[in-house]
Amino acid sequence: MFKIIITSTFLICLQLFSMLGVTETAFSEDSIENQIIVRFTKGVGESDARAIALKHDMRVVDVIDSPKNKYGQCILILGSTRSTGEMINTLEELEEVDSCAPNFINQSKLDTGRDLGGQWPVQIAAA
C-alpha cells in the first residue's frame, strides 16, 4: 500500500512539473570543454594534487575543497589543452584519484512562455 501511495505521489508531482514546463533536468549534457572535476582520495593534500595535475600536463582552474575544509578531501577543477575524455582516462587510473567527471554546466529550465492562467500579478512597491 505504501508503495502505491509513493508511486502515485511521484506521478502527480511529475505531471505538475510537466504542466509548469519544468520537465528538463537541472544539469544539461553540456560541459565546459577541457575541464574536469577531480576528487582525490583521503590523505592526498592540495600540494600533492597540484603536483599530480602538473605531472600530467594539467593546470588547476579552481579549488572546490581541501582536506581541511567541508568534505575533508581535495577537490579541484583541472584544465588542459587535452580533451575531457583524455584527461579523465589518464587520471582515473591513478590510485590517488577517487573520482573524476566532466565539469557539467548547471542550467535550470522553465518554460515561461506559457500562460499559467489565474496566477496573481507581481506588484512592485514604489520606492
Residue 86 lies in a domain: yes
Write the CATH number for 59: 3.30.70.80
Distance CA 19, CA 114 (A): 9
Residue 121 lies in a domain: no
Tens of pLDDT, residue by residue over 8-34, are 565 565 555 555 554 444 444 677 888
104 close to 48: Cβ distance less than 8 angstroms: no
Distance CA 37, CA 30 (A): 14
Residue 22 lies in a domain: no
Q: What does the longest C-alpha to C-alpha distance in the chain come to?
A: 60
Q: Domain residues for 52? A: 27-106
Quote the pLDDT of residue 27: 41
Range list of H helices, 21-80: 46-55
Bigger pLDDT: 83 or 70?
83
| Residue 99 β-bridge partners | 39
Averaged pLDDT of the chain? 75
Per the structure, the count of domains in the chain is 1
Residue 102 lies in a domain: yes
